[in-house]
Structure 1
Amino acid sequence: MITYENKKLNEKVTETTLANGLKVFFIHKPGFISSTAVYMVPFGSLDIRQQKPDGEIIESNAGVAHFLEHKLFESNNGADIMEAFSAMSANVNAFTSYNETCYYFSTGEADFSQPLELLLDFVQNLSITDESVEKEKGIIIQELRMYMQMPEARLMYETYRSLFKTHPVRIDIGGSEESVKAITKAELYDLYEANYHPSNSVLVIVSGQESEKILDLVKANQAGKTFPDFEARRRLIDMEELKVAKKHHSFAMDIQAKKITYSFKFNPAQGTRMDRLVQEWMIRIYLELLFSSYNPLYQNWLDSNRINDYFGYEVDVTDEYGFVMFYGEKESEEDLVALVNEGLSTDFATVAPYFENLKKRYFGQAIRSLNNPDDMAVSFARCVLLGLDYFATLDCVNQIEVDDLKEIGGVFDSAHSSIVSVRSKKA
Structure 2
Amino acid sequence: MNKHVDKQLRMSRYTSILDNGLRVELLPMPGYHKTYAVMSADVGSVDTDFTLSDGSQVHLPAGTSHYLEHKLFEKKDHDAFDLFGKLGADSNAFTDFTRTAYLFSTTSKLHQCLDVLLDFVQDPYFTPALVNKERGIIASEIRMYQDQPSERLYMGMMGNLYPNDPMHNDIAGTVRSIQQITADDLYQLYDAFYQPANMSLLVVGKLDPEQTMEWISDNQSRKEFRPGYQRPSSLKIADPSGHDVIASGQVKMPVHRSSVMVGLRGVQQFENGRERLKYRLSAELLLALLFDENSDNFLKLYNQGIIDDTFGYQFEMQRGFHFACFSTSTDKDDQFIDSVRQILDQADKELISSRQQFNMIKRAWLGRLIGLLDSPETVAERFAGKLYDNALLTDEIACLKGISIDDLSSVINQLIKPGHLTTYKVLRQN
Q: Does 1:420 align with 2:424?
A: yes
Query: SS of the counterpart of 1:212?
Result: helix
Measure, in 1, the Cα distance between the counterparts of 2:409 and 2:220. Answer: 52
The one-letter amino acid of 1:259's match is S
Partner of 1:200: 198
Query: Where in structure 1 do 4 or more consecutive aligned residues deviate above 6 Å?
Result: none
Please list the CA deviations of residues 220-279 of structure 1 after superposition, one character each: whole Å capped at 9, or x if unmatched.
222222334453232322233322442111111111110101122232255433223322
Give the fraction of aligned pairs with identical amino acids, expressed as a percent.
28
The one-letter amino acid of 1:143's match is E
Shift of 1:316: 2.5
TM (normalized to structure 1)?
0.92
Partner of 1:32: 32
Shift of 1:325: 1.2
Partner of 1:396: 399
Measure, in 1, the Cα distance between the counterparts of 2:145 and 2:377. Answer: 26
Q: Does 1:368 align with 2:371?
A: yes
Measure, in 1, the Cα distance between the counterparts of 2:416 and 2:372. Answer: 31
| Residues 406 and 187 of structure 1, relative CA distance in 2, 3 Å threshold | closer
Please list the CA deviations of residues 189-228 of structure 1 after superposition, one character each: whole Å capped at 9, or x if unmatched.
1221221122322111112231222222222222222334
Measure, in 2, the Cα distance between the counterparts of 1:76 and 1:206. Answer: 31
Q: Does 1:379 align with 2:382?
A: yes
CA contact under 8 A between 2:98 and 2:319: conserved in structure 1?
Answer: no
The residue correspondences of 1:26-105 to structure 2 (distance < 5 A) are 26-77=26-77, 79-105=78-104
Partner of 1:234: 232
Measure, in 2, the Cα distance between the counterparts of 1:290 and 1:280. Answer: 15
Shift of 1:32: 1.1
The one-letter amino acid of 2:217's match is K
Query: SS of the counterpart of 1:368?
Result: helix
The residue correspondences of 1:128-139 to structure 2 (distance < 5 A) are 128-139=126-137
Query: SS of the counterpart of 1:371?
Result: coil
Q: Does 1:175 align with 2:177?
A: no
Query: SS of the counterpart of 2:210?
Result: helix
Shift of 1:178: 2.3
Unaligned runs of 5+ residues in structure 1 are none
CA contact under 8 A between 1:163 and 1:245: conserved in structure 2?
Answer: yes
Partner of 1:331: 331
Partner of 2:307: 307
Shift of 1:45: 0.9
| Residues 388 and 227 of structure 1, relative CA distance in 2, 3 Å threshold | closer
CA contact under 8 A between 2:21 and 2:196: conserved in structure 1?
Answer: yes
Shift of 1:350: 4.5
The one-letter amino acid of 2:406's match is D
| Residues 315 and 338 of structure 1, relative CA distance in 2, 3 Å threshold | same
CA contact under 8 A between 2:274 and 2:389: conserved in structure 1?
Answer: no
Measure, in 2, the Cα distance between the counterparts of 1:301 and 1:58. Answer: 48
The one-letter amino acid of 1:73's match is F
Please list the CA deviations of residues 164-198 of structure 1 after superposition, one character each: whole Å capped at 9, or x if unmatched.
13222111111122221111111211221221122
TM (normalized to structure 2)?
0.91
Partner of 1:163: 161
Measure, in 1, the Cα distance between the counterparts of 2:110 and 2:365. Answer: 33
Measure, in 2, the Cα distance between the counterparts of 1:415 and 1:22. Answer: 42
Measure, in 1, the Cα distance between the counterparts of 2:406 and 2:277. Answer: 18
Partner of 1:22: 22
Superposed CA RMSD: 2.2
CA contact under 8 A between 1:44 and 1:98: conserved in structure 2?
Answer: yes
Number of positions where the alignment pairs a residue of Structure 1 with one of Structure 2: 423
The one-letter amino acid of 1:202's match is S
CA contact under 8 A between 2:317 and 2:323: conserved in structure 1?
Answer: yes
CA contact under 8 A between 2:197 and 2:229: conserved in structure 1?
Answer: no
| Residues 310 and 357 of structure 1, relative CA distance in 2, 3 Å threshold | same
Query: SS of the counterpart of 1:193?
Result: helix
Partner of 1:354: 357
Shift of 1:405: 2.9
Q: Does 1:126 align with 2:124?
A: yes
CA contact under 8 A between 1:333 and 1:419: conserved in structure 2?
Answer: no
The one-letter amino acid of 1:169's match is M
Partner of 2:218: 220
- Mean alpha-carbon deviation: is it higher for 37-46 or for 266-275? 266-275
CA contact under 8 A between 1:45 and 1:173: conserved in structure 2?
Answer: yes
Shift of 1:30: 0.8
